[in-house]
Chain A
Amino acid sequence: MSAEKLKNPYNPIKATIVNIIVNAPDIKTFKLELEEPIEFATGQFIQLTVPGIGEAPFTPSSKPGRGKNIDITIMKVGVATGVLHKMKAGAKVAIRGPYGNGFPLDKIRDRELLIIGGGVGLAPLRTLIYEVMENKERYPRPLLLYGCKTPEGILYKDSFSDWEEDFEIHRTVDNPNEEWQECKGVVTTLFDKIKVDTDECAAVIVGPPVMMKFAALELENMGISPERIIVSMEKNMTCGFGKCRHCLLGDYYVCKDGPVFTYKQVKGIPGAWD
C-alpha cells in the first residue's frame, strides 16, 4: 500500500477556452485557462477532452514550462476537432497530461539546428522555437524551413518577423497566390537553399507523415545521420501513457517512448508513415 493516495490517471483537469485565434482556414489556436497548473516540455503532448464527444492528443503550442495558461493550435480534420472549431470563448473543456518524451534537447543543443515544419506541424515546433529563443547561447545557428499548401495556410503569420532575428527562415507553398514572392513547391525544395554542416547539424521535422518521410529521406541522402534527424510521430492514441496499445509502432509505444523519435528508430517500421 502506498502512503500517498494515487491519482486516477484518466481524470482530466477542467479548463476554459478563454480566447480563440483563427490562424488559417481550418486552423485555430485555442487559449486555455486550466483550473490547476501543468508543466510541459517542448514536444510533449496532452489529451484534450471535448465533453461528450471524445478526446484527442495535441501538442501545446505555447511557451513550455509550468502554468495555468496554454495554447493549443488545432486543425479541423474530423469529429472532435470539428466540434472544437465550432466552440466559442467561454466553453468548457478538460485536459490531462503532459505525456511523452518531448524533443531531445541533448541531441539538438550546441549544434546547427534545422527546424522543418509542414502545415499544422509548426504548432508543436513553436514550443521549440521558444526554447531556441530563450536559450540563444545553446543554438549557434538555428534555421527554420516551413512549407504549406497555400499562403493562407501559414500559421502564426505575424510571428515570423520576430523569429527572423534569431532564425534563418525559408518558406515555400505548393499553391502560391499572386502576392507570394517566396518559394514554390514541397518543403524539400528548400533544401537547395541552405548550407549546413551535414556531419554535425541536427534536424527536427514535424508535419504530415508523407512530408516527414520524404524530408527525412532527403536529409539522410544529404549526409545527415538518421540519429540526428528527429521526427514526431502521429499515431492513434487513447490513453497517452502506455495502457491501451493503440499507438504501437513496431515495439514502441508512440505515447511514452515517443512521440519524438530519431529517424533511425522508426524508418524501417512498416506503417510508420501511414
Chain B
Amino acid sequence: MREVAVLGVAMNRFGVSQKTNLEMFTEVGLEAIERSGLEPKDIQALFLGCCLGAFEEGQAHIAPFAHSELGLPTGSPAVLMECACATATVSIRNAALLVAGGVYDFVLAGGTERATLMGTPLATRTFAMASHSYYESTVGITFPGVFALAAHMYAAKYGIGLPELKRHMAEVAVKNHKHALLNPKAHFQKEIDVETVLNSMMVADPLQLYDCCPFSDGAAAVVLARADRAKEFVKKPIYIIGMGQAACGALSLQRDLTVVKARVEAARQAYSQAGIGPEDLDVVELHDCFTIAEILAIEALGLYEFGKGYEAATKGETALGGKVPVNPSGGLKAKGHPIGATGAAQVVEIVEQLREEAGERQIPGAKIGLVDTLGGDFGTVCNIILRR
C-alpha cells in the first residue's frame, strides 16, 4: 500500500446558509483544489458525502452534479457516500484507500449538508431514519433520545448521581463553546456557562438543549494524493498514518450503550496501523454531537478508562492547554454539525493544527492528531490518524 498525503483543505463557515448544497461544495472543493496547487482536470475521482439532500432540497444523486460544477473530467467518477454523521470521514477513508491501492493519484473527498432547511420536526424525523426503521424508529426514538439512553445507562452503570453527571456533561458544552470563540468558521461564537446548559429546555431526558449540537449547514473538502509526490504541490503535506472503520447493528444488539463497540474496533485498527497509542496524540477532533457523546468517545478512544472520562472537561484536561485538547474547533457542539460535511471539517481542523495554521486556537507543536466520527445510533465509527 502506498502512503497517502493530504494536500489542500477547505471548509466554509458553518451555520445557516442561503447557498445550495452544490454551491457550498463547489466553493470549498475549488478552494481545496487550488490550495493543492492542482487544477480540476487533475482530480481523478470525487467522493462526496450528503446524507439528507433528498429531504433538504429534493436532490438525489448529487455527486455527478458536484463533479460538473467543479469542472472535473468526464472520466473521473463521482460517488455519493452515506454513513449518517460519519459520511464525510468514510468518504475520505475510501478515497484514501484507493490512493493507497494505486488506483488514483489525486482525489477530492468531503461533504455538504443543509440541515437547517428542514426545520426541527422534519430534521428530527429524518435524522431518526438512521435508526432501525422497522424495529426501533417506530417507537419514536430520536437522535438526542439515543444518547439520552446512553447517558442514563452511564449514570446507573458507574453509580454516579444524575445531577452530578449532568454538571460534568455541561462542562463539555462550556469547553467546546469556549473553543469555538476562537474559530471564525464556527456556527456558534457565544460563551456559555454550566447554568446556561442546566437552565435550557429539555430535549430528551437528561439531555437539554445545550447538551445538543445544532442543525447546521456547511461544506468541507480535502484533496488526497500519493505521498511521494505531495511536496511537488504543497509546502506542508500532512500524512494519513492510520485509519479504522467498524460497524454495528441496531441499538438492541449493542446492549451496553456506554461502550461504543464500533469505536473500540475502529480505534484499534487505526492505532495499530499508525503504530501509536492514545498517549501519542497531540490533538483530537471527536464526535461530540451531544455532551455525553464526548465522554463516551474519550473513553473508547483510550484517552480515559471506561467510567473515568466524565470529569475530564471539568478538570480542564481536554481543553486547549490541557493534557490532550479535544475539539479545539469547538466540535460538533459549537462549530456545528452539517452531518454530511462534519468528518471532512474535523480533518480540516486537524490538518490546520498540524500545519500550525490554526490561529488563536493553535496547539503549539502538534505533530499527531486523530479524527473520530460516529454515524447513526453507534452503527458506524471511522477514525483517521494524521501526522505532519
Chain A partners chain B: no
User: Residues of A with Cβ closer than 8 Å to B?
Assistant: none
B residues touching A (Cβ–Cβ < 8 Å)? none
